[in-house]
Chains A and B, each alone.
Chain A
Amino acid sequence: MNAGEVKHPGLNLGSTDTDTHEQAEGDVFGFWVFLMSDAVIFALLFAVYGTMLAATAGGPTPADAYKLGPTFAETLTLLTSSLTFGMASIAVKYEASGSVLFGWLAITLALGLAFLGLELHDFATMIGEGAYPARSGFLSSFFALVPLHGLHVLAGCLWLVVMIVQLSTFGLDARVKINLLRLGLFWHFLDIVWIAIFSIVYLQGLIR
């Protein structure tokens, strides 16, 4: 059995923990199946958004409702949280105790919450300017798609809290390691969905 073999998406534990690496293959693949079905849900909401783009019913158009600066700030926050989660994955793989891991998870959690704060502020501004969900088909489809991603980030943040508690209770055992591998996939997957959101929703709407 070659321990250096890549068995699943995300960072593989490989030779640093061969037993958990063996066990991770099936567990992580199951979670990968869920992520792909989640991707289909997002893709269809993007399709609905695409068909609703012109349905503004005399209300705010995409160019009126969106702002470039806050979107860029949200993007940078989420991108950086992907890097810090990557560093957490490295700590899962190479660290024996988990003290560095704590730090990276806490930073990732802070960035995730900062992203949610920026996004909520953005929504509040939009709604304050008359771009609320019931205004038009365009805004309904926007508020179906983008806050769903926000809810996923919120779920990821709650999951991070759970992992911090598990880590302090059980230490870095096999189950905690595999849970962290799955959370890593979830977190990086949300970043990929956000690429589609800032390109298809925000940037497309703001092109002059």
Chain B
Amino acid sequence: MTGPGREKWNDIRGYLIGYGLALALTAAAFAAVRWPTFGAGATLGLVFGLALVQLTVHFRYFLHISLRRSARDDLLLILFSTLIIVLMVSGTIVIMSDLRGRMM
């Protein structure tokens, strides 16, 4: 194939790979809950693990963000937002569950 046709096919292939991986990961997470084979804790860990993998799949194949190719500002903003989110979410959960523990 020539230049532009090849680039177009590469772009289409990216979306198809992303869709295939996303479908497989989603199906695996739902199957783990529908037909439980491990304990509740292990299943929860599996579901959250699969969600994290699917998150990176979506960022990579649909939003086209990767460590190598991205414009630096976008990536820095993602990392900063992640930091803010981790601080606020973990802080909220720690404080509120501690409060619940004291009120029980």
A residues with a Cβ closer than 8 A to B are 6-12, 14-16, 25, 29, 32-33, 36-37, 39-40, 43-44, 46-48, 50-51, 54, 68, 71-72, 75-76, 79-80, 82-83, 86-87, 90, 93-94, 185, 188-189, 191-192, 195-196, 198-200, 203-204, 206-208
Contact = CB atoms under 8 A, between A and B. Distances in A.
A178 to B, nearest CB: 16
A44 B11 contact: no
Contacts of B30: 68, 71-72, 75, 203
Contacts of A76: 23, 26
B97 interface: yes
B1 interface: no
Interface string B71-91: 101100110110011001100
Interface core residue of A79, A185, A204, A207 (most chain B CB under 10 Å): A207
Interface size class of B (residues with CB under 8 A): 35 or more
27 contacts: A6-B64, A7-B71, A9-B65, A9-B74, A11-B64, A29-B73, A36-B78, A37-B81, A44-B92, A47-B92, A51-B92, A68-B34, A71-B30, A75-B30, A76-B26, A82-B58, A86-B62, A90-B8, A189-B63, A192-B58, A195-B51, A195-B55, A196-B55, A199-B47, A203-B30, A207-B36, A207-B47
Contact of B93 (A12, A51, A191, A206): A51
A33 B44 contact: no
A204 B63 CA distance: 26
Nearest to A94: B8
Contacts of B16: 83
B22 A199 contact: no
Nearest to B80: A36
Nearest to B51: A199
B62 A188 contact: yes
A33 B50 CA distance: 27
Given A8-B71, A47-B89, A48-B92, A192 B59 contact: yes
A39 B78 CA distance: 10
Contacts of B26: 72, 75-76, 79, 198
Nearest to A52: B96
B29 A203 contact: yes
Nearest to A192: B58
A68 to B, nearest CB: 6
A33 B77 contact: yes
Contacts of B44: 204, 207
A56 B80 CA distance: 34
A12 B64 contact: yes
Nearest to B61: A86
